[in-house]
Amino acid sequence: MNKDKNEEEFSKIKNFRINPWMAGAIIGFFAASLQQIASMTKPPAYGFCMACHARDLINSIINPIAGTNLGIAGIVTSIPTLTIIGVLLGSFVAAIIFKEFKVTKAKFNVSYLKMFILGILVMNFALILSACPIRTSLRVAHGDIIALVGLICIGIGAIIGTIVLERRIEV
Amino acid sequence: MEAYVIGTLIVGFIAGYLGQRSRMCFVGGIRDLYLIKSTHLFKGLIGFLIAAFAGYILFNNNIAFPWFVEKGALSAIPGAPCILGIPALSIAIIGGLGIGFFAVLSGGCPFRNTVMTAEGNLKALWYVIGFFVGAVIFHLFIFGFIQSLFGC
């Protein structure tokens, strides 16, 4: 992770139209108000979650086919939540409109395997915490003390991961 | 029920659009704050927290606010009871550290990787496939283990 390269990329990022804080605020407001508008109050703070909604989607597809009884959050018994589909569609539309869609391949095929395993690991830890980083923040905003501990631990884990990455590149 | 499903699709669409335009990423924000001392992406997290708090205050008609763990927050399946205490805290610490560490190694939080998939990044596509496989693996093997270990 080259620092100069990072700063160069960062100055490029700065020129984009929407600020992250504005995007975060809009997403946060919609995620918080969705449950009340749709009158789905259980489980609380469940308006937006990459991990939990993906879990609900895949398990509600697999359960009828394989006859299993994999866990689904209480509210979504018959129809799956479609957050991850919405995110894919929305960012695809944005990438097409602003001509940023470009198929990029990895240099080595091992990177695909690495990302696949990292996806499995992140999903498992996210389901242990029962929230992805976004839902953790949503829960903090909802007044959940345990989620605050989780968010702080995400920060600590991210810093540890950054240190490990830095060391590996220096060596 | 239908309103909720369509609502998640619409909110997901808005979030995906904004996420693609702004490169918002919570874990990436913490990483940039530590690595290059820039608060650009970290402001996304702050904005999210403030706006979500405002949203809950504004629409607080029929839900209990604030909501603590005794109502069943911290189980692997939301809704099952788990009492505030050592088990709940240790689950939060294990999960939080794990997400932070592996999310940084994979280049961003799950949301950012999903957005990158839609931009045509094949590495991120494999990440999302691993995401779905991981959910099934969790409920087949790890969920029972965690439940017997911590009792929630």
For chain B, which ranges sit under pLDDT 70?
A: 1, 60-84, 151-152
Do A62 and B136 lie within an 8 Å CB cutoff? yes
**What residues contact B72, with CB distance under 8 A and at least 6 apart?**
A43, B78, B79, B80, B81, B82
Domain tally for chain B?
Answer: 2
For residues B40 and B108, membership in a common domain is answered with no
Task: Compute the 3-state secondary structure of chain A and give helix, strand, coil in percent, each to the nearest 5.
Answer: 70, 0, 30
User: What residues of chain A, 46 to 85, have a C-beta less than 8 Å from chain B?
Assistant: 46-48, 50-55, 58-59, 62, 70-76, 78-85
Do A75 and B4 lie within an 8 Å CB cutoff? yes
Residue A114 one-letter amino acid: K
* Cα B71 to Cα A43: distance, rounded to the nearest angstrom: 9
Indicate the residue of B88, B126, B143 with minimum beta-carbon distance to A112.
Answer: B126
Indicate the residue of A48, A94, A116 with minimum beta-carbon distance to B127.
Answer: A116
Which two tokens mark B100?
């932070």
User: Which residue do the tokens 């659009």 mark?
Assistant: B17
For residues B79 and B48, membership in a common domain is answered with no
Could you tell me which residues are beta bridge partners of residue A81?
none
Do B99 and A84 lie within an 8 Å CB cutoff? no
**Given CB atoms, is B139 within the 8 Å cutoff of chain A?**
yes
For residues B58 and B74, membership in a common domain is answered with no
Which residue range is the domain that position B15 belongs to? 1-62
Domain residue limits, chain A: 2-168
For residues B84 and B38, membership in a common domain is answered with no
Q: Tens-digit pLDDT profile for chain A (171 aa)?
A: 455 666 666 555 555 567 888 888 999 888 888 877 777 666 777 788 888 888 888 888 888 887 777 767 655 556 677 888 999 999 999 998 888 888 888 888 888 999 999 999 999 998 888 888 888 888 888 877 788 888 999 999 999 999 998 887 665
CB-CB neighbors (< 8 A) of A55 in chain B: 135, 138-139
Per-residue DSSP letter, B139:
I
For residues B132 and B74, membership in a common domain is answered with yes
For residues B104 and B131, membership in a common domain is answered with yes
For residues B48 and B102, membership in a common domain is answered with no
For residues B86 and B148, membership in a common domain is answered with yes
Indicate the residue of A24, A53, A121 with minimum beta-carbon distance to B8.
Answer: A53
CA distance A53 to chain B (A): 9
Q: Are B109 and A133 in contact (CB under 8 A)?
A: yes
Q: Tell me the whole-structure pTM to 2 decimals.
A: 0.84
For residues B40 and B104, membership in a common domain is answered with no
For residues B81 and B23, membership in a common domain is answered with no
Q: Of B16, B44, B62, at which residue does a domain stop?
A: B62
